[in-house]
Homo-oligomer: A and B are copies of this chain.
Amino acid sequence: MKVNIYDVAKAANVSIATVSKVINNTGRIGDKTRKKVNDVIKELDYKPNLMASALMGKKTCTIGFILPDLANPFFSELARYVEDMASSFNYNVVICSTDYITEKEEMYVSLLLQKNVDGFILASGFESFEAIEKIQAMNIPIVLVARNAPGKQLNLVSINDYDAGFRATSYLIERGHQQIAIIARNIWSNRERYRGYADAMRKNGLVPMDEYYYAKESTIQDGFKSLQQIMKVSSIKPTAFFACNDLMATGAIKACKKLNLNVPEDISIIGFDNSIFAQIVEPALTTVEQPQREIATEAVQLLMNAINGDNAHQTITLKTKIIERETVKNLIL
């Protein structure tokens, strides 16, 4: 039923070695032989079994992409671009959602390692190094996305979260806001953005909200709860919120509606990611853009280089940009 290399060899009156050589364009093969073999291959519609060649040390042309949650548009868009780019190299990507659970990441990594994937893109944002070390122990290339790994020699592609947080906050301050709250989650990228936020506040003689993270997850729900929570506990009410992703910003906007606060008249909000949500919500969200396509492109490119033997470790930092829409009010007039 399934035709293999022997069938081709037989039909072409050559040895399997010859067939293998014409398939892989290795060794020297006479023109007539090559043509003959190719004809037979076409005729029998022969497709080499990639598992078998993988067993012989060839690539599996598959990469693992590990992320927290595919339902988060930031990640699904990222995944889309990763997949696109990978496919341009004839690679497939198996996507794994960890659901923010470390054990799942390790489980997926183990499984994919057993399946001999050629490389990993890790966007799960975990603090633990278990998975990374497991992969490195097998000498498999990794690139980390939106995360750092101090003290590790790795490929990284990310934005400068500190800087982005600083600029988002400054943007608000420049527009006259003084009471600025932050909705963040306790993960590395958000902590960096918090640092940027706090420094921007202090630099302008303002006092940052203390290092208290209200959001458990980066969801609409948690953004919704966080804003209400902050409004409730603050003695001096914030006039602006910096939400560390668009989902939470969306939730924050919803919360404002519930509290009968108008955005941006009463409360200004700036988000993060510039995912599709930013254009959908009402009012349209002013937000910090992450160049997802570039992130994905660079990540895959780096991974491919590594897979093809490039042992250098690169860190690529991409630019962010504030996309002005309708959720920030200028208090200075």
B-binding residues in A (CB < 8 A): 1-2, 47-52, 54-55, 60-62, 69-71, 73, 76-77, 79-80, 83-84, 87, 90, 92-97, 108, 110-116, 138-139, 220, 250, 276-277, 279-282
Contacts and interface: CB of A to CB of B under 8 A. Distances in A.
Contact of A76 (B61, B71, B220): B71
A62 B116 contact: no
Contacts of A113: 47
Given A60-B51, A71-B77, A83 B111 contact: no
Nearest to A83: B97
A92 B115 contact: yes
Given A47-B110, A80-B69, A250-B280, A60 B2 contact: no
Nearest to A139: B1
Contacts of A112: 92
A71 B76 CA distance: 6
Contact of A79 (B55, B73, B95, B280): B95
A2 B62 CA distance: 19
12 contacts: A2-B138, A48-B114, A51-B51, A51-B55, A51-B60, A55-B55, A71-B80, A71-B276, A83-B97, A92-B112, A93-B95, A94-B95
